[in-house]
Amino acid sequence: DAGVIQSPRHEVTEMGQEVTLRCKPISGHNSLFWYRQTMMRGLELLIYFNNNVPIDDSGMPEDRFSAKMPNASFSTLKIQPSEPRDSAVYFCASDSGRAGSNTGELFFGEGSRLTVL
Amino acid sequence: AQSVTQPDIHITVSEGASLELRCNYSYGATPYLFWYVQSPGQGLQLLLKYFSGDTLVQGIKGFEAEFKRSQSSFNLRKPSVHWSDAAEYFCAVDAPEYGNKLVFGAGTILRVKS
């Protein structure tokens, strides 16, 4: 299995630009998670989906952030407009658990390192 | 509020020495407990997990962890550290009554000196 695939691995953009991060979860996994990692705040859960439906988006920092999962094999995290404080590594992870019963064994992608100038 | 505490930000051990990384949690009931490892530039990888039963759990790469209910702790151990163990280690907690979300500690960076 190819594992969780994220793109791009690195993104450098200017403040005010739109950023779209992409994730392909492991085939057959029912839950997908977006995390943000910074030195100051550590790992923060932004949003998670189960069977393509957003279950909890309480970690999304503000309206500039949005996430979609149009099908079981693809998700996007969009930031519009981006700001320097959004600079971080964004991880996507998937879990093989069934609805309402995640296993807790997350499989992480290698992350997308975002730098907003 | 629920929380996961890893009191040590950095730990340095000599290669071949034993290792213990501390983790304490604050939850109303016994949650599910995990340890993950992150190598530089990589995503996190599960080392081991505790759901119930035997309080000493074995994981990959020779790691083990012990759940102590009385201390609300889930410390990670390894009897003999290898240079390749240098990484950042995260304790995580999942309490189903809080929505099946993993909450991660701040992490402990392990340095191994030869």
| Arithmetic mean of pLDDT, A100-116 | 85
In this predicted model, what pLDDT tens digit does every residue of A11-28 receive, in sequence order?
Answer: 999 999 999 999 999 998
**What's the pLDDT at B3?**
83
Which pair of tokens denotes residue A77?
């995290």
Shortest Cα–Cα distance, A79 to chain B (Å) = 21
Other CB atoms within 10 Å distance of the CB of residue A99: 12
**B99 pLDDT exceeds 80?**
no
User: What proportions of chain A, in percent to the nearest 5, are helix, strand and coil?
Assistant: 5, 55, 45
In this predicted model, what pLDDT tens digit does every residue of B29-77 receive, in sequence order?
Answer: 778 899 999 999 899 999 999 988 899 999 999 999 999 999 999 999 9
- Helix, strand, or coil here: B60? helix
Size of interface A-B (CB pairs under 8 A): 50
- Helix, strand, or coil here: B100? coil
**What's the pLDDT at B35?**
97
Write the DSSP string, A58-104: TT--STTEEEEEEETTEEEEEESS--GGG-EEEEEEEE-PBTTB--S
In this predicted model, what pLDDT tens digit does every residue of A29-49 receive, in sequence order?
Answer: 989 999 999 999 899 999 999
Q: Are the C-beta atoms of residues A55 and A73 closer than 8 Å to each other? A: no
Spell out a b/e string for A52-86, using b for 16 or more CB atoms within 10 Å of the CB, else e.
eeebbeebbeeeebebebeebbebebebeebeeeb
Shortest Cα–Cα distance, A37 to chain B (Å) = 10
